[in-house]
Amino acid sequence: MSERFVVIPVGRPAAETNNKVTTDTSPGGQRWAGNGNNSVTVAQETPETSVPILEYSREPNKYGDGNPKESIPFINNSDLDGGNLYDGKNMALFEEEMDSNPMVSSLLNKLANYTNLTQGVVEHEEAENDEGAKKKKVKSPQMGTFIGVYLPCLQNILGVILFLRFTWIVGTAGILESFAIVFMCCSCTMLTAISMSAIATNGVVPAGGSYYMISRSLGPEFGGAVGLCFYLGTTFAGSMYILGTIEILLTYIVPNAAIFKGENGGETEAMLNNMRVYGTCCIILMALVVYVGVKYVNKLALVFLACVVLSIFAIYAGVIKSAFDPPDFPICLLGNRTLLSRNYDVCAKIVIEANETVTTKLWSLFCDSPFLNASCNEYFEMNNVTEIQGIPGLASGVITDNLWSDYGLQGMLVEKKGQPSISAPDSKFTSPYVSNDIATFFTLLVGIYFPSVTGIMAGSNRSGDLKDAQKSIPVGTIMAIATTSFIYMSCVVLFGACIEGVVLRDKFGEAVSGNLVIGILSWPSPWVIVIGSLFSTCGAGLQSLTGAPRLLQAIARDGIVPFLQVFGHGKANGEPTWALLLTAGICEIGILIASLDSVAPILSMFFLMCYMFVNLACAVQTLLCTPNWRPRFKFYHWTLSFLGMSLCLALMFICSWYYALVAMLIAGCIYKYIEYRGAEKEWGDGIRGLSLNAARYALIRLEEAPPHTKNWRPQLMVLLNLDSEQNVKHAGLLSFTTQLKAGKGLTIVGSVIEGTYMAKRPEAKQSEQNVKSAMAAEKTKGFCHVVVSSNLRDGVSHLIQSAGLGGMKHNTVLMAWPNLWKEQEDPISWRNFIETVRETTAAHQALLVAKNIDSFPSNQERFSNGTIDVWWIVHDGGLLMLLPFLLQQHKVWRKCKMRIFTVAQLDDNSIQMKKDLQMFLYHLRLNAEVEVVEMHESDISAFTYEKTLVMEQRSQMLKQMQLSRTEREREAQLIHDRNTASHAAISEKVDAVPDRVHMTWTKEKYIAERNRNREPAGMGVKDLFNMKPNQSNVRRMHTAVKLNEVVVNKSQDAHLVLLNMPGPPKNKCGDENYMEFLEVLTEGLNRVLLVRGGGREVITIYS
């Protein structure tokens, strides 16, 4: 036997065991085995002997070369049943649970290299489970930030409003108010993008974009309501883009294609009818394109984007050119009124031709004959005709005239400020002038402009195509918003500085020969903008008709709105046919409205509501501090989200208060429908009844289903031990609870008092007060529960089973390691511990066991550096990785770094394992150093073999001592029965009942029974050192020793070490060995937290 071990009886000086070679086989003596110092000593059980303690040293073994790994002598001799008995012996301690808790090395590749399919998480998981033959190889996403996020967002943000309405907004609202409109809207989208970036980087965001983010953050009710609003917004955006396409086509490219011709002031109504006819044809054509070949729409996206970028460059080039060479686009004014260019050929009342004065076409508009003596309009007679440049250029100083707003009623004439004019009645002649087609005011312009800043979700919707979505989405989206905000704000100033005010307010370019106003500024030709805007709006319409049906399909497939489930079906390839039909039908409603200015505020409402709830989701998640809320994007704060939410709400009512109320009513009805379908709510009387009912309703809702993985947080049941004075033994458990929970979630502190409730009720009350005082001292927020039970085992079982109410139940048990389990004569303490481990496993609850709890830091301590080391051996739900993150939220552990170690076996690629683990942690948004420790198969050393042998010898001794204890109890019973019999003989008659005598122990019976019991016990002592250790125990001990070596080597200086806790043996005969295995596994470590999962995943890569 190795000279490293010594078994010392408790209470007997250790010196007695040294420097002796003793062999005593007498029944009452001791047997000493050894041949030198520190020899192994085994004490024969006597009434005075307590439980022996196993002590061993970490000095190098004297076998072989003295290497601590002890490669020799090998345990491979012929006495063991073959050489394959120790296959997998490195992880033998975990082998019984390997089916449910796989090795990390076998799991990492699957966890790290996931594929994000566009159908969403459920479909992705189903696809993963398909047979290999049916799987198609999915191309690895390669899109970067610029191509995958920045450019799509740029394309979606810059669109129809910029080309068709922005100059009109600048002219009507003036530079200052236009700048305020742009700043408000861009601030709203920037704050929303910050919140969206936090949500999008808090895991993988599959298809559905904002709907997925909101529904998974705020629940299905909010998700369904806002998802449908976002769907309606996207659908009406398609209507707006189609109307923009038709407006460009009929107004600026082929005006003669109009079917309806307006006469005598009926141009506006005729134009609306043309929009309806052509818009309907266009939507049918686009729907067919989307139905037949959506892939072509995606391929043409780059062409549409190129048109947008080219148009922007053309605008800036035109602005620069106007500074030294303004384009020649004259406009004609009568007095200060702007004239329609199509009604005249020369901007003059009369001209001289062949030395003759003749009237012009303009004269005939205002006079009843072409002669100079004709009767003319009074205003025409009293005011002069003036021709000015529509684009005076950047250096003209026109910016001062365009600073202020010029709102007006419908039909109000567009007049130049500061131009001389003499008022006169002219009711008969209004048609030759440029006038407002609608009444204008600030809030209307906000509603019309806001759609031009939407489209910020384009990046998050494409997360499956991105190489690194968690990096690309925030950077690309925020950069796109910053770029477009700069473009819009600079355009406000540049348009106001280059273009004449009356031209800016001319919505359809009627004063400049029917040209697009923004086009006449551009270089080299207005057609660059006209053609570019046509392709841009057409492409945006196609993309809306592509994206909206998929959003509706995602909502329908979630099943939260039953009547929409039919729209979850489609073609065999998954294309949403029915959803496309509904989308085209809703689009037709927008087409029938026919006015772009009327449709824009409608979709503004739906987008603003969607953005409002994105901000709300981020603010709620941040304030709740849910464990799954770990965004990689760090530049967010709940105040920014709240500000964004408030700004969205304000803009909704600024745009149109009645549209805002209608949109909120629609969302509210959907919310209530999802929440209360088929359910009736009972209301009590008064405020208290309302509060009680709300609490009851919340508890019932909690009990309906287990929480989703991303909502899981440790709800703790803390098992405390009390001393004889009913005071808390290990207050460090409460401190650790405070650090782990930070006041969030449920905490129940439980303790057990032995006895009956009637007798121990005062002590139970006092214990409860003491526990509450300790909780207050350690700032532990939670509930106290002290129970009285006939024994500790049953009391702890009752707490584990019944603590909590409804859905407010614990899912994790925290307890201290029984440090004195070896020294206590009664094995009940460690048997209770092992039974608690088994019960938490059976109840599917996680278990945390704190070893050396008294050395854990108090709430007042601060670690300025150091590490929290996680040893991830087997995967049992991910709790090991979640706990350090939760601890780092507390100021005690905040500056500690997290390190994760995992073990590589002989067949594992440790380099690939490290890459996979780093990728997995990246997707989990956890910052930690990663190290893979190679622990190759090695032969079991004599150190391990002898240690197992001593452990089993100690176990055998415990059993023999238990037999001697039973014998002493019987002897006491014999004395008691003798006294009873003697007293009965004196006090009773001689003819007592014979049965009483037969029930009493006789001397002969006692001696026979004692000899019968002593014989096997004596044999056990004689054979104690001839026994061979159980092979399974040798393998388990080998696991414990080897793991302890690598853990101590790497983590001896760590502030806290977290380890997978092996499960207890299925055969209860080896319980005491299990305690020894855990003791060896954690030896030499200061603070250890043993962790067992509850049988479910508690951490996820998804948002």
DSSP of 745-801:
S-EEEEEEEES-HHHHHHHHHHHHHHHHHHHHHTT--SEEEEEEESSHHHHHHHHHH
Torsion sign over Cα 535, 536, 538, 544 = positive
Q: What are phi and psi of 407, to 5 degrees?
A: -80, 160
Handedness of CA 1023, 1024, 1028, 1029 (dihedral sign): positive
The CA distance from 552 to 566, in Å, is 10
Taking the whole predicted model, whether its pTM rises above 0.85 is answered as: no
Nearest to 1076 by CA among 950, 938, 942, 935: 950
pLDDT at 1025: 55
Listing DSSP states for 481-548 in one string gives HHHHHHHHHHHHHHHHHHS-HHHHT-TT-GGGTT--HHHHHSSS-HHHHHHHHHHHHHHHHHHHHHHH
Determine if residue 1087 is left, alpha or beta; phi over 0 gives left, psi from -120 to 50 gives alpha, anything else beta. beta
| CB 248 within 8 Å of CB 495 | no
Q: Among 846, 895, 904, which Cα is nearest to 1058's?
A: 846
CB 38, CB 6: distance < 8 Å: yes
Sign of CA dihedral 314, 320, 324, 329: positive
What six digits make up the tokens of 157?
């943000």
3-state secondary structure of 900: strand
Indicate the burial class of 749 (C-beta count within 10 angstroms; 0-12, 13-18, 19 or more): buried
**Cα 804 → chain centroid:** 27
CB 708 within 8 A of CB 1103: no
Instruction: Write phi, then psi, for 254 (nearest 5 degrees).
Output: -130, 75
d(CA 488, CA 441): 20
Interval 446-462: pLDDT, tens:
999 999 999 888 777 77
Task: Supply 21's token pair.
Answer: 């070679």
Whether residue 881 contacts residue 1098, with contact meaning beta carbons closer than 8 Å, is answered with: no
Interatomic CA distance for residues 105 and 1056, integer angstroms: 23
> Which residues, in sequence order, are CB contacts of 222 under 8 Å at separation 6+?
214, 215, 613, 617, 671
Q: Which of 539, 663, 547, 610 is nearest to 193 (CA)?
A: 610
Q: Give the SS3 label for residue 843.
A: coil
CB burial of 121-157 (b: ≥16 within 10 Å; e: otherwise) equals: beebeeeeeeeeeeeeeeeebebebebbbbbbbbbbb
Task: Give me 359's structure tokens.
Answer: 């009237």
State the pLDDT at residue 359. Answer: 86
Token pair, residue 138, equals 């999915």
Q: Give the three-state DSSP class for 265.
A: coil
Tokens representing 662 are 């209608």
pLDDT of 1048: 93
> What is the distance between the alpha carbons of residues 501 and 446, in angstroms, rounded to a whole number?
20
For residues 386 and 373, what is the distance between their CA atoms, to the nearest angstrom? 22
Element containing residue 213 per DSSP (H, E): helix 210-218
CA distances from 172 to 163, 399, 504, 825 (A): 16, 14, 8, 93
**CA 581/CA 566 separation, integer angstroms:** 12
Find all residues with CB under 8 Å of 707, minimum gap 6, and list them: none
Tokens describing residue 601 = 């505020």
- Which residues does 171 contact at the CB level (< 8 Å), separation at least 6? 402, 406, 495, 499, 501, 502, 503, 504, 505, 506
Q: Alpha carbon 453 to chain centroid distance?
A: 27
Nearest-CA neighbor of 586 among 553, 554, 548, 551?
548
Task: Flag residues of the chain having pLDDT under 70.
Answer: 1-90, 109-142, 205-210, 214, 217-218, 263-265, 426-431, 463-465, 573, 677-693, 703-706, 742-743, 824-827, 938-947, 949, 952-1029, 1103
The CA angle 926-931-933, to the nearest 5 degrees, is 140
Q: How far apart, in whole angstroms, are the C-alpha atoms of residue 428 and residue 375?
A: 13
Q: What is the pLDDT of residue 994?
A: 43
Three-state DSSP at 386 gives strand
Measured N-to-C along each axis, helices 210-218 and 596-624 cross at an angle, to the nearest 10 degrees, of 40
Strands 867-872 and 846-851: unpaired
Task: Show the CA angle centred on residue 630, arms to residues 626 and 635, nearest 5°.
Answer: 115
- C-alpha 692/C-alpha 690 separation (Å) is 6
DSSP per residue, 72-92 = -S-S-STTSS-GGGGTTGGGG
Secondary structure class of 872 (helix, strand, coil) = strand
What is residue 446's predicted lDDT score, i.e. its pLDDT? 94
Going from the C-alpha of 915 to that of each of 112, 912, 919, the distances in angstroms are 9, 5, 6
812 and 847 Cβ atoms separated by less than 8 Å: yes
Q: Which of 328, 366, 335 is nearest to 350 (CA)?
A: 366
Distances, alpha carbon 341 to alpha carbons 50, 506, 880, in Å: 114, 12, 76
In the prediction, which pLDDT does 971 show?
57
Task: Return the H-helix or E-strand segment holding 385.
Answer: strand 385-389
